[in-house]
Amino acid sequence: MKDVHELQSRRLNFILELLLEKTKEFADLNRDQPLEWSIMHMYSCSQLAKLLAIKRGLDQEIAGIAGAIHDLAIIETGIFKDHGPNGANLVRDFLKNYNKRFGDSYGFISDEEIELIVKATIHHSDKKQYSGDTFVELIKDVDSFDRYLHGKETYDFYVERTNRVLKDLNYPLL
């Protein structure tokens, strides 16, 4: 019998493989941020989202998928500006294509799960606003915390969100 956690991670692990393959389609020229950064960020946000989802009582696999895919617009276009809203259809199409091609083998992602991930993608860049949507806030917090951990420029609103994560994990605040 397969481990329950293994079964719960099948979709996420395969989606991470697909996203990594997708990054190979793009050159690292004329991008707002290096493709290598996007790949590192994709993987670390996925893991951080799972960790924080456990703490906050959310679905860790869906959180991991959202953490991995939230910057798909940057990967595909190389443009940072408005990448959250611009990523909505890219994320939706990617996940629906996954369902069509691989859902039978790895497990389907429901329409409700897809729209939850799309909503988080759309709003994740708006770090200054608090929506009250726990899933959207999770991805905003994870995105901010990952920037901090990687030593990226961290503005006050990123520090505020990083401190939310540190508090959740019972670590000293910045």
Q: What is the pLDDT of residues 21-64, one digit of tens each?
A: 999 999 888 999 999 999 999 999 999 999 999 999 999 999 99
SS3 27: coil
- 123 located within any domain: yes
What are the structure tokens assigned to 131, written together? 């929506």
Placement of tokens 């989202």 in the chain: 49
- 173 located within any domain: no
pLDDT band at 152 (very low <50, low <70, confident <90, very high): confident
| CB within 8 Å of 55: residues ≥ 6 apart | 168, 169
- 37 located within any domain: yes
- 174 located within any domain: no
Residue 37 sits in a domain whose CATH number is 1.10.3210.10
| CB within 8 Å of 102: residues ≥ 6 apart | 14, 18
pLDDT digits (tens, 9 = 90+) for 76-91: 999 999 999 999 999 9
SS3 134: helix
Write out the residue range of the structural domain in which residue 33 sits.
4-168
Structure confidence at residue 29 (pLDDT): 87
Structure confidence at residue 1 (pLDDT): 42
Number of domains the chain is built from: 1
